[in-house]
Structure 1
Amino acid sequence: MNRPRRFHAARLSLILAALAVGIGGLAWTVHQAARDAEASAVPVAPVAITLSGRVTDAAHLLSPSDSAALDRQLAEFERHTGHQMVVVTAPGLGGADIATFTRALGNAWGIGRKGINDGIIVLVAPVDRQARIAVGDGLRARLTDQDCAAILQQRMVPAFREGHYGQGLRAAVAAITAKLPD
C-alpha cells in the first residue's frame, strides 16, 4: 500500500544537515529528503542561490529600477527598525516545500539578528507559482501568518497575475513596513 510522502518537522535536521554552505555562508545548496512510511529517502533536486544583497533576483524577474527601488525600501526598513528583510526570486524550488525551502534559506544566510531571530524573507518562485513571506520567531507576534497571507493575497498575487513582479514585491514590502513601524 502506498502512503503519501509527508514532511515532518523532525526531518528538519535532515534537511539542515544536507545544506552545503559556501564561502561566508553566501552560497548554498539544499537537498531535501522526503521519507515515506517505510523510511526510504527520495532525494529532491538541488537548488542553488547566492545571496547578492537585500534583493537576490535569481529568477531574473526584476528590472534594474525595480531592484534598486526594493533595495532602498529594504535598507530604510532595516535602518529604521533594525529588522533585516530580504527579497528573493528563485528559479524553482527543486521539488521542496516552499516553507522548508524558505526556512533553510534564511538559516543558511543568517537573515535577522542572532538571538533576536527577527529576519523576514519574501520569496517568489514563479515557475512553481508559489510565494511566501517567512518571519523569524522574534517577529511572529507582530507579523502573524494571517498578516502574511493577507499581504500575499491582496498585494502580491494581483500584481503577479498581471506580470508585474516588481510592483507586487514593492507593495508587499510597503505593507510589511507598515505593520512593523518600529
Structure 2
Amino acid sequence: MGVRLAPVALCCALLLSLSCKQQSTASPLADATAFAASATQPAGEALRLQGYVNDAAGVLSEEEEKRLFTSLLRLEKETGHQMVVATTSSLGGKEISAYSLALGRRWGIGRKGIDDGVLILLAPNDHKARIEVGYGLERALPDSLCKRIMDEDMIPAFRTGAFGSGLEKGITALSQHLH
C-alpha cells in the first residue's frame, strides 16, 4: 500500500512545485494603488521598480512625485496602459536607448501580450532623457511624436532644473494620445 502512494505523493509534490514557479500575469504595478515616496538609489546599482515614479536620482519633491503618481495611476485605470517614470543619477556609460530598453524589459512595464508600456527615463547628471514605448503603442506614440514632446514640453523645463514640471508636461502630452 505504501509503495502505491509514493508515486502519487511524488506527482502531487511535483505539480505543486511547478504551479508555484509559473510566472504571474499580474502587472508589476498591481499593488501600486497608494502613493509611497521613492527612495534614492546609489549610482551604479541596478534600479529597483518602486512604483509608477522611481526617483533614484532624488530630483523630485514629494509633492511632485504625488502629482506624477496620481496622473500615471489615472492613466492606467482609464486606458489599461502603464506608464512609469524613472530617474537615475548615472547611465553608467551606456547609451540611454539601450539603458531604457533594458530597464523597461526588466521591469515588465505594460501588459503581457499587449506590450503597451511606456517608460520615461531621466538621467539629469548625464543630461539625457528618453521616452521608451512598447511595440503595442508605437502607432499611438510614434518616435516622431515622442521626440516632439521631448523637445517642446520636457527639455525646456529640464534645462532650468524643473524636472518635475518637465515630467508632468510630458505625461500630460503623452496621455492625450492614449485616450
Aligned residue for 1:158? 156
Identity of aligned residues (%): 46
- Tell me, which stretches of 5 or more residues in structure 1 are unaligned? 1-25, 27-44
Misfit runs of 4+, over 4 Å? none
Contact 1:55 1:70 in 2 (8 A): yes
2 CA distance for matches of 1:88 and 1:46? 15
1 CA distance for matches of 2:115 and 2:131? 15
1 CA distance for matches of 2:153 and 2:44? 30
Contact 1:47 1:93 in 2 (8 A): no
1:47 deviates by 4.1
Aligned residue for 1:172? 170
C-alpha RMSD of the superposition:
1.3
Aligned residue for 2:21? none
1:51 deviates by 1.0
Q: C-alpha deviations, 1:137-164, integer Å up to 9, x for none?
A: 0000110000100010001111011110
Aligned: 1:110 with 2:108: yes
- Tell me, which stretches of 5 or more residues in structure 2 are unaligned? 1-27, 29-42
Aligned residue for 2:10? none
2 CA distance for matches of 1:126 and 1:85? 19
2 CA distance for matches of 1:73 and 1:141? 22
Q: If you compute each CA radius of gyration, which structure gives the higher value, 1 or 2?
A: 2
> Which structure: greater strand fraction?
1
2 CA distance for matches of 1:147 and 1:68? 26
Aligned residue for 1:133? 131
Aligned: 1:122 with 2:120: yes
Aligned residue for 1:72? 70
Q: C-alpha deviations, 1:5-34, integer Å up to 9, x for none?
A: xxxxxxxxxxxxxxxxxxxxx8xxxxxxxx
How many residue pairs were aligned? 138
> Which structure: greater helix fraction?
2
1:132 deviates by 0.2
1 CA distance for matches of 2:82 and 2:88? 19
TM-score normalised to the size of structure 2?
Answer: 0.75
1:133 deviates by 0.2
TM-score normalised to the size of structure 1?
Answer: 0.74
